[in-house]
Amino acid sequence: MSHRYFRGKIERLLSGADIEIDGPAPWDIQVHNHNFYSRVTAQGSLGLGESYMDGWWDCEKLDEFFCRILKARLDTRIKTLTVVLDLLRAKLVNRQSLNRSFQVAQQHYDIGDHLYRHMLDNRLIYSCGYWKDADTLDDAQAAKLGIVAAKLNLAPGMRVLDIGCGWGGSAKFIAERYGVEVVGITVSENQAAHGKAICKELPVEIRLQDYRNIKGSFDRIFSIGMFEHVGYKNYSEFFRVARRCLKENGLFLLHTIGNDQSVCCNDPWIERYIFPNSLVPSAKQITSAIEGFFVIEDWHNFGADYDRTLMQWYHNFLENQCVLASCFDDRFFRMWSYYLLSCAGSFRARRNQVWQIVLSANGVPGGYNSPR
């Protein structure tokens, strides 16, 4: 079949989101290689992302392009063999098993702190900021950590578990400000080394460890931006571990990206190039896994704030492109820009959310009052 046939198919699809090929709007795409059309028709999301990395097409405002595509739910209109095979693998294999749990660190978090130091805030917090009263990325991340501490009602002398502690910024923040003892776990060697370095004068222990191997008893537990790596086959085990480690009068705060639909496998492009073995949970999947372990005390959604956070990360990444050029090639820059801007578009379209869920072991006597 000629490229005109496949171009017609893609044109008709994109028209449902008011997007034109070689059009004048900033969200329109400019196609440089006619093979783009058959590639996207055959491979869907994977073909779209890979062809962008290959320079086959461009778009002035990728974030707006994806916002329009996802609002119109065009992503559900193309079913490819890649998607079918991913779905089959997800059903047959536990892609987030203990043996696989360190893969995401090796591919994503351990690619070099140089990148993250030039993209994130000064604490290296790699999750959604809280922009309610903030004007800068540093302030938004401090506000997020502050609201986590307030929801957990932290008090001096408490022992706190941070599941998925990243580069140790959250552990350092609460240990310094609230006088608590913190155990943080991560599957990333880079993150663990950095966390140990910045927390060496504090009552903080950073462990290179999978959540399934956690031992001990804690007054409070929180997990920020790690649950997306747990996988639907392991949700119940995650909450079983958290319940085992939480004292009877304790609180557990889960901060996670949320999906508006229950799925069992990730977007193929994100899976291959950004977050292997990841999965964004739905509310249904979370509540089903919580049942029998915790009482839900509070559920807070500030997903729109992730759009602003991602755009700030992209601004920082773009601003430091010359500094980063010694470590990364043009294909990486296109890949990373595509990642940040496609995700921003997803949150802008409200297809993804950010949830902070406060859980108690047996229900807070007299009720729980959550700060905002």
At 100, the amino acid letter reads: R
Tokens at 204, concatenated: 């903080």
From start to end of the chain, where are the E strands?
Answer: 29-31, 57-59, 159-163, 181-186, 204-208, 218-224, 246-259, 295-301, 352-360
Tokens at 325, concatenated: 């050029």
Give phi and psi for 216, each to the nearest 5: 115, 175
Helix (H, G, I), strand (E, B) or coil at 181: strand
Residue 87 CA to residue 333 CA, distance in Å, equals 29
Helix (H, G, I), strand (E, B) or coil at 347: helix
Tokens at 372, concatenated: 């905002």
Nearest to 110 by CA among 34, 48, 190: 190
Residue 52 CA to residue 325 CA, distance in Å, equals 19
Q: Are 24 and 61 in contact (CB under 8 A)?
A: no
Give phi and psi for 181, each to the nearest 5: -95, 135
Sign of the Cα torsion 346, 348, 349, 355 reads positive
Q: How far is CA 340 from the centre of its chain?
A: 11
- Residue 43 gets the label, from left (phi > 0), alpha (psi -120 to 50) or beta, of alpha
Look up 128 and say whether it is catalytic.
no
Residue 13 CA to residue 9 CA, distance in Å, equals 6
Catalytic residue among 67, 128, 245, 343: 343
Helix (H, G, I), strand (E, B) or coil at 40: helix
Catalytic residues: 343
